[in-house]
Structure 1
Amino acid sequence: MAGNGQRRRPVVALYERIADAVHDGTYPPGSTLPSEPKLAGELGVSRPALREALLLLQEDGLLSVRRGVGRTVNDSPPRRGFEQLRALEDLLGPVRVRALLRSREEPTDFTTQHLLAPAGSELRFWESVLVGADLAVALSHEWAAPDDVLARLHPAFGEALSGEPAVSMLAVLTECSRAVALTAVSQVSATLLGRRRGEQLGRPADTPAVLVTQVVRVEGTPVLAAKHMLPTGAPALAVLQSP
């Protein structure tokens, strides 16, 4: 254990040096860091130690990796995450929502379980890609409860969905729920993109990803269920835990 700690200390010290340089304006928000060889030379450190420190800074939300550009300093600290019910595009922003599919479909095993949708019912289904400055950062599948459930519990949500605005379904729900109490539960798991999702996100099928399953309720009844797929390289999504 002591040996592991000794090996880690240079990386932690290097992490702090780069973080300090970000905070004091040496590397201002939006700026691009020097290449790894150049930065290692400037700091007088080995490239393996630098690479590990940069990875930690990326995980903690200070840096992002942009294809064809390199590592850049984020414009702001990591946003608060799923302890608040907010649309994914707000949490990962700045991104835009590109609609892939807006349709109605019969319940699947997923929607039967999470929306309690009876057989034979019809559910609105939205498939969207969230696109950042230079690449896709998330894929969302969202389903709304049957129309009769929405008419009883949240008619404004059902009416707003009919317009099919260029945002996520959750963004529609939160926007029209200022006088409606919403509760939600999200589960996070690790997975791989797979072939179809990889094609939609422009990444190999074996790319690691985080899968967020989300259910939003009104008066204890589910009105929205979603799957959000965030591949490696997506912006950090912070989750605050309270005692």
Structure 2
Amino acid sequence: MAARRPQRRPVVELYERIVEAIRRGTYPPGSTLPSEPELAADLGVSRPALREALILLQEDGVITVRRGVGRTVNARPTRPGFERLQPVEQLLGDGAEVRPLVRVVEDPTDLVMQHLLVPARCEVRFWESVIAVDGIPSCLVEEWCAPDEVLAAVDRELPAALEAAAAQPRTMLHAVTALHLPLSGASTVTATVLGRRRGEALGRSPDTPVVLITQVVSAEGTPLVAAKCALPSGAPGIPVRQSR
């Protein structure tokens, strides 16, 4: 029996048609795609099929979807991604700005004691920030750091650097990485929903789907910072490069 040639799914064919149109310059990098009804009419396809192809294009980093802006064609090559330890405001690319919400000293939570290996009776810094991209709230960052005596044992400048950075529009990790310490990080990625409090901070519904990244940053085996980064649906993608 003759081997059958594999057939591509219609949504994949539509995906490739749009990619080819981008290559030809019909939709150049940096441009905004036409509205969904206009694009469906231009391509002669149904809106449900187009919507599926657009989701794949966003997942693959070909386009970026932002509330109030629309679907923008990305430029290539992609920027350095999550495989490199850097502040989330840098990971989200140009147009990202930090909006501080909370800068306090508090008792450690169970999460902090688990990840930063601190005793229950101590005080730790807690920062909460919204990262806006092109003016749109796109990420909520919650960060805790080890007590000052632990920080100072790693680098005596760390406590003062964090104290000074608290008044500036930056994340805790930004302040720590600025000292060029030998840092390493470990992260887990979870799919969840925003919840009421985080939803209020981002101006989104509590049941908005969200990718939650929990990250612990250490210096030569000493945990310094524990963070949670909540990226709701529609947030810019963060590239991850892999090899074997």
Q: Is the shorter-chain TM-score for this pair beyond 0.5, marking a shared fold?
A: yes
What is the aligned partner in structure 1 of residue 191 from structure 2? 190
**Residues 131-166 of structure 1, C-alpha deviation per residue, up to 9 Å, x if partnerless?**
111421000011111100111112222221111231
User: What is the one-letter code of the residue matched to 1:30?
Assistant: G
Do structure 1's residue 141 and structure 2's residue 142 form an aligned pair?
Answer: yes
Match of 2:35 in 1: 35
Superposition map of 1:89-238 within 5 A? 89-94=89-94, 95-163=96-164, 164=166, 165-177=168-180, 180-238=181-239
TM-score normalised by length of structure 2:
0.91
Q: 1:216 to 1:30 in 2, by over 3 A?
A: same
Q: Give the fraction of aligned pairs with identical amino acids, expressed as a percent.
A: 59
Task: Report deviation, 1:121.
Answer: 1.1
Counterpart of 2:162 in structure 1: which amino acid? L
Distance 1:142 1:43 in 2: 46
Q: What is the match of residue 3 of structure 2?
A: none
Uncovered stretches (5+) of structure 1, i.e. residues with no partner: none
Are 2:66 and 2:235, in contact at CA under 8 Å, matched by a contact in 1? no
- CA distance in structure 2 between the partners assigned to 1:90 and 1:122 by the alignment: 29
Secondary structure in 2 matching 1:124 = strand
Tell me the residue number matched to 1:23: 23
- SS of the residue corresponding to residue 26 of structure 1 reads coil
CA contact (8 A) 1:138 1:230 kept: yes
Moved over 3 A (4+): 75-80
**1:22-101 equivalence runs, <5 A:** 22-94=22-94, 95-101=96-102
**TM-score of the two chains, using structure 1 as the length reference:** 0.91
User: Deviation at 1:62?
Assistant: 1.6
Unaligned runs of 5+ in 2: 1-5
- CA distance 1:10–1:141, shift in 2 (3 Å): same
Task: Report the aligned-residue RMSD.
Answer: 1.6
